[in-house]
Amino acid sequence: MTKTARASKPKGSYDWALLSVVTILLMLGVVMVFSASYPRGMEGFDNPYYFVIRQLIWLAIGISGLIVTARIPYTFWDRWSIPLMGIALLSLLAVVLFGAERFGATRTYYQGSIQPSEPAKIVIIIYVSAWLTSKGRRIRDARAGLLPFGVLMGVVAVLIVLQPEISTAILIVATAAVMLFVAGADLKQLAAVGVVATATFFLVISYSSYAADRIQRYLDSVGNPVASDEWQVSQGVQALMRGGLFGRGLGNGLAQQTGYLPVSWSDNIYGVIGEELGLLGALFVILLFALLAYRGLRIALRAPDNFGMLLATGITTILVLQTLLNMAVIVAVSPPTGVTLPFVSYGGSSLVASLIGIGVLLSISRFSIETAPRAAQPGRYSYERVDLGRGNGRSRVSRPGRRSAARAGNYQATTPRPPSVGDGRVRRGGKRG
């Protein structure tokens, strides 16, 4: 039992720069969704605002989720990581059994409005963050780290691949592998994860006619994507080429017209951006996501504890990887995936899940600590806690043996303690009494 310190305010503040970047992306998204979808809205629903109205509804829900999660101390998610993971796994299983078929896959409810794998991505990151934190230095032991990690990711990947949604499974496994590396896993373990994941990927391709057909059509088009039999690939590349440097102007592109770029308001919206806003507009979007990555990793480096660091790393990584994968399809570097462009594409659960992830990042930023310049200062946080050099053979995470604060209540005095949920007070060291 320890004494409870007097309530104190968080050391940091919300990362307003991150919020500003996300706000710009959201505003751009609303404009581009309308530009890309109004012909389809008129043709299919006799309403040019059909898609943008629904985008605004989902945006309102997502912003509400962002506000709520930003105000909740992030340690709350460590405490509830196991129940949330159970719910996520059940939802992934349920969609395989009872989900609605869309575009040849069973991955949604309510005619495509709700996709359980989207919120599951955030939940899985929360669980993996808590699990890695609890393992500490033992993460470098294959029996305690690599094997259970492989089983966990295998179960998640199988449930998602069965939909089939191979791209999302790749995103989750890749993000978890990055988190495993940051937590201190040996490079040999990461190599083993890569080998197993690659072998599993080719095995899935071999037995999935859906995936094999897409990949084969893409491979046939690598030499000349403009003339590709894969319609989505060829039309995406042509949209970018038509845009030139400055673009054709909002609403003046061909990509949104029926018979050109499929689902231009969703998966392929980056092609519409390239055509209507040109190369400069496409590069501006890349710059915004680069700033988002920088702010997210900055929050991770300044997180007051290991759970917060891993959580911020995971959320930032999956948003960046999803962005790169979406853009890769438009420039014919990847076969069509069905992955949306975060904050920009039309989508319900995808947009809400991404905004909730940003809310969690903002919550972590409230309790961030200023980093000392390389050398540790007395009583101050230092870069020693995230040692990517591995020159001394230690884990990349400082104090690797300690459990996360939300589970064990054991924050060290060297870092500020976020307030526990309910009493708003800071507990310093020891177990909660």
Task: Give the DSSP letter string of 151-170.
Answer: HHHHHHHHHHHTTT-HHHHH
- CA dist., res. 72 & res. 70, Å (int): 6
Rounded Cα distance between 52 and 261, Å, is 18
Measured CA to CA, the distance from residue 95 to residue 72 in angstroms comes to 29
SS3 sequence of 194-263:
HHHHHHHHHHHHHHCHHHHHHHHHHHHHCCCHHHCCCHHHHHHHHHHHHHCCCCCCCCCCCCCCCCCCCC
Supply the pLDDT for residue 264: 87
Question: Is the preceding peptide bond at 48 cis, omega within 30 degrees of 0?
Answer: no
**Dihedral (Cα; 328, 334, 337, 341), 10-degree rounding:** 0
Amino acid at residue number 104: G
Query: What string of pLDDT tens digits covers the 433 residues of the chain?
Result: 333 333 345 666 899 999 999 999 999 999 999 999 988 888 888 899 999 999 999 999 999 999 999 999 999 999 999 999 999 999 888 887 776 665 555 555 555 567 888 899 999 999 999 999 998 888 888 777 788 888 888 888 888 888 778 888 889 999 999 999 898 887 888 888 888 888 877 777 666 666 666 676 667 666 667 666 677 778 888 888 898 999 999 988 887 777 688 888 888 899 999 999 999 999 999 999 999 999 999 999 999 999 999 999 999 999 999 999 999 988 888 887 778 999 999 988 899 999 999 999 999 999 987 643 333 333 333 333 444 434 444 445 444 333 444 343 333 333 444 444 444 343 444 444 3
Contact 367, 11 (CB under 8 A): yes
CA–CA dist 176, 318 (Å, integer): 9
**The amino acid at 87:** I
| Nearest C-alpha neighbor of 191 from the set 179, 177, 171 | 177
Task: Say how many C-beta atoms besides its own lie within 10 A of residue 130's C-beta.
Answer: 26
3-state secondary structure the chain: CCCECCCCCCCCCCCHHHHHHHHHHHHHHHHHHHHHHHHHHHHHHCCCCHHHHHHHHHHHHHHHHHHHHHHCCCHHHHHCHHHHHHHHHHHHHHHHHHCEEECCEEEEECCCCECCHHHHHHHHHHHHHHHHHHHHHHHHCCCCCHHHHHHHHHHHHHHHHCCCCHHHHHHHHHHHHHHHHHCCCCHHHHHHHHHHHHHHHHHHHHHCHHHHHHHHHHHHHCCCHHHCCCHHHHHHHHHHHHHCCCCCCCCCCCCCCCCCCCCCCCCCHHHHHHHHHHHHHHHHHHHHHHHHHHHHHHHHHCCCCHHHHHHHHHHHHHHHHHHHHHHHHHCCCCCCCCCCCCCCCCCCHHHHHHHHHHHHHHHHHHCCCCCCCCCCCCCCCCHHHECCCCCCCCCCECCCCCCCHHHHCCCCCCCCCCCCCCCCCCECCCCCC
Burial class (CB in 10 A: 0-12, 13-18, 19+), 358: buried
Give the CB-side neighbour count of residue 230, counting CA atoms within 13 A. Answer: 26
List the structure tokens of 118: 């989207």
- Using DSSP, how many helices (H) and how many strands (E) does the chain show? 14, 2
User: Which position has the token pair 């700033």?
Assistant: 291
pLDDT at position 374 is 33
- List the domain boundaries for the chain: 16-366
Amino acid at 302: R
Give me the pLDDT at residue 386, please. Answer: 44
- pLDDT, position 84: 95
Q: Shortest CA distance to 264 belongs to which of 40, 25, 105?
A: 40
Residue 236 pLDDT: 83
